[in-house]
Structure 1
């Protein structure tokens, strides 16, 4: 379904989904919309009835998805490339930096660790691990204290996967200056939080979480500085100029973000990503974020009322979508069992639990959490 680029409002938004009302695990996986299911089924059905038009026609989904991602990121299609997942983009960024030091949060999700460990082992970019302050955040002051002349980039998550803390991307850009690269893993914030993506040189996101496009979907946007500085180390045969000319010669990398392409991606998943992104555009990020913020506030009030301790920030301006907590003296597995008994789906960690609502999450989900936590007492 091809929506207008922007109309706004949540009217009818929930009609696009069928996830159970107690599903609160969008930070791990976002059940896709009817639009995504229909786009996937249509593309697969067409591929099963292939003729001489089929492959070329299905490939039109790729530029459609790329254009939608670019609009939401505040850039253009020439600076945007589709990816099969966020990790692929992080490896592209890491292996594109020939040397120097990259600042990386020590507590970040492992997807933002291993690319830098691999480059270090090969004598390329070396990570310098940043340790958060008492509130668990990597602040501009912490980054400023770690800056030395050899630092060439900062690689951070837009939203912390444990606590939901938002990174202050604009302040981080100010601290590192205009000549160092700012690499942002946006998977926990893109599509549900209005963040200044334009301040980053590389924005990378998978589509299986908050974008609700399901697995094997994602994209990256690259600034002019990123295109200038990052070597196309992992460029494949689809990331070159004159890609359809098979002359047994090495071709130069594409001039834009397409140079991050390794091979053709699935037109089926591209169709799914396009449908998901266009639904976000149609609804608007602001409307989605507003609804999520309301549910987060209600969940926090419920958790505190039931004796839980919050691990996420108190300030709504510093958080995005994620509510992490624990119940003192109660094993998280026991809390999870109570939540499951009330048909609530959380993320369960060793020492805490995480609830992450979406714009389709009804108030009844909060009631289910309240009933589950009350049952523990």
Structure 2
């Protein structure tokens, strides 16, 4: 249920918020999302069951992976055959990078390094050539930027769905149109999945870790692969769990699985899979649309607070390109000193050397904005 306070403040998704114990001033979900009680309980149950191991325990615990995979697939608009669980987003990006055998890959120079090193390592092996895109200061990856960099040897474009610095939201459908159907579109969705309605089906590869906005804890994540990705990416990192007849130990090499399982290297922890399943279920039950609306309202509120207190907003303010991240500076105030003022009011931001980042969630109450206002007002001119 979404409600609006009598004072007309931004709505709070109360039924969703009831699952969490996160402090009101926690505004660092773009770095780490504290898990729900559901995810914590699922972790505890799985550990307790493993401690009382019997002849069915392992098989029972392993079922959590299938549940998590199915829910992730539904949220991504895919199916389980095109979805694989991974321990983090970086593993998926390395799978994609090493799977391309030749050609140029476009990637933003401003992206989080997780979208740099796979391409650098693949280049060291002579498989791909990264070409770095340079968005305008304060901007992000746009179709025009990508279109201007396209040449015949470009085989893929790899981008973040939402920029980690500013929260710039990429138009995936427009990017697909710009690059055409034959090039691969690879998307790091860690700053968007579960909290932003986006055209995931426009991408050939979508990877996300569960420790941020999905609030599943560390060592959780997934990837979805299109038919085009399965056909064109070489499964270089396929392990024993990613092959046909994986349970047959006959001493011979088995072919990679024909579906997304080919990105599996080994069995993942059924404990973390249980937490991931619980976290994804919470998102599905409350809907991405409702979660996104609650976050957008809180970001709007925080943006007004920052502006009123004399801050300079670095994030997009138009709804088409804005996500859950609000980056800003306070002119004439070092970010570290601004952070101290925020900490004194019980607010947890991300602190950079040149800016600060606030990232609320659907469970963030109006009190958080009041705390930020008190902190920034205390700085003086």
* TM-score normalised according to structure 2 size: 0.96
Q: Does 2:193 align with 1:194?
A: no
Where does 1:85-234 land on structure 2 (aligned, <5 Å)? 85-234=88-237
Q: Which runs of 5+ in 2 are unaligned?
A: 1-11
Match for 1:297 among 297, 300, 306? 300
Q: Which whole-Å deviations, capped at 9, do the CAs of 1:107-148 have from their partners, x for residues lacking one? A: 000000000000001100110000002432121111111111
Match for 1:308 among 308, 311, 316? 311
Distance (Å, rounded) in 2 between the aligned partners of 1:273 and 1:14? 18
Match for 1:335 among 333, 338, 342? 338
Give the stretch that moved more between structures: 137-146 or 32-41: 137-146
Q: Does 2:261 align with 1:258?
A: yes
SS at match of 1:60: helix
Is the CA contact (8 Å cut-off) linking 2:14 and 2:363 kept in structure 1? no
Distance (Å, rounded) in 2 between the aligned partners of 1:187 and 1:109? 11
Distance (Å, rounded) in 1 between the aligned partners of 2:132 and 2:372? 37
Is the CA contact (8 Å cut-off) linking 2:292 and 2:362 kept in structure 1? yes
Q: CA deviation at 1:326?
A: 0.3
SS at match of 2:320: helix
Q: CA deviation at 1:11?
A: 4.3
SS at match of 2:224: strand
Distance (Å, rounded) in 1 between the aligned partners of 2:249 and 2:38? 37
Q: Which whole-Å deviations, capped at 9, do the CAs of 1:5-39 have from their partners, x for residues lacking one? A: xxxx9342111000000000000000000000010
SS at match of 1:219: strand
SS at match of 1:182: strand
Give the stretch that moved more between structures: 135-144 or 184-193: 135-144
Distance (Å, rounded) in 1 between the aligned partners of 2:82 and 2:218? 23
SS at match of 1:238: helix
Q: Which whole-Å deviations, capped at 9, do the CAs of 1:292-345 have from their partners, x for residues lacking one? A: 000000000000000000000120221110000000110000000000000000
Q: How many residues align?
A: 369
Q: Which whole-Å deviations, capped at 9, do the CAs of 1:149-204 have from their partners, x for residues lacking one? A: 10000000000000000011111100100000000000000000000000000000
Match for 1:48 among 51, 74, 90? 51
Match for 2:240 among 226, 237, 241? 237
Distance (Å, rounded) in 2 between the aligned partners of 1:314 and 1:160? 14
Give the stretch that moved more between structures: 9-18 or 100-109: 9-18
* TM-score normalised according to structure 1 size: 0.97
SS at match of 1:225: helix
